[in-house]
Amino acid sequence: MSVALDHVILPTTDQAASAAFVAKMLGLPEGVPVGHFICIPLGNGVTIDVMASDHHESVHLAFLVDDDTFDRGVAVLWSEQLPYWADPGHTNQGAINHRFGGRGVYFTDPGGNNLELLTRSMPLPPVPPD
């Protein structure tokens, strides 16, 4: 069996707000309640399972998106006057990076998690055959 990512858990202090925000940023329908999660299905079979948590460390999720989804997400940040940064350390506010010939932006969800939209992945070296 090959290995595939099934889901990630996004802990947050405001489950409904974070789930709605992530879905809006990605241009997806709002998530579906499943048990104590709100699950947002992505196009590749992976789900983001948003979970209420009063005590959690900030997590980082990076979403590889097409140019239209990126533009829509940045438009949400602009229209809602939310801060965004070109870098993961949040030092270059109000800017978009152009790494790897694409575009990228970092922002936080209502629960304080560090999220990213990017249009090009980091190039990885080839994996040597077994």
Residue 65, domain CATH: 3.10.180.10
Domain count along the chain: 1
pLDDT in tens, the chain (130 residues): 688 899 999 999 999 999 999 999 999 999 999 999 999 999 899 999 999 998 888 999 999 999 999 999 999 999 999 999 999 999 999 999 999 999 999 999 999 999 999 999 988 888 888 7
Considering the domain boundaries, does residue 126 fall inside one? no
Residue 45 is encoded by which pair of tokens?
Answer: 């079979």
In angstroms, how far apart are the furthest CA atoms of the chain? 50
Considering the domain boundaries, does residue 129 fall inside one? no
- CA–CA distances in Å: residue 74 to residues 50, 90, 107, 112: 22, 16, 10, 18
User: Which of 2, 90, 23 lies closest to 10, judged by CA?
Assistant: 23
Considering the domain boundaries, does residue 127 fall inside one? no
User: Which of 28, 59, 57 lies closest to 44, judged by CA?
Assistant: 28
Give me the numbers of helices (H) and strands (E) for the chain, helices first please. Answer: 2, 7
In this structure, what DSSP letter does residue 70 have?
H
Considering the domain boundaries, does residue 125 fall inside one? no
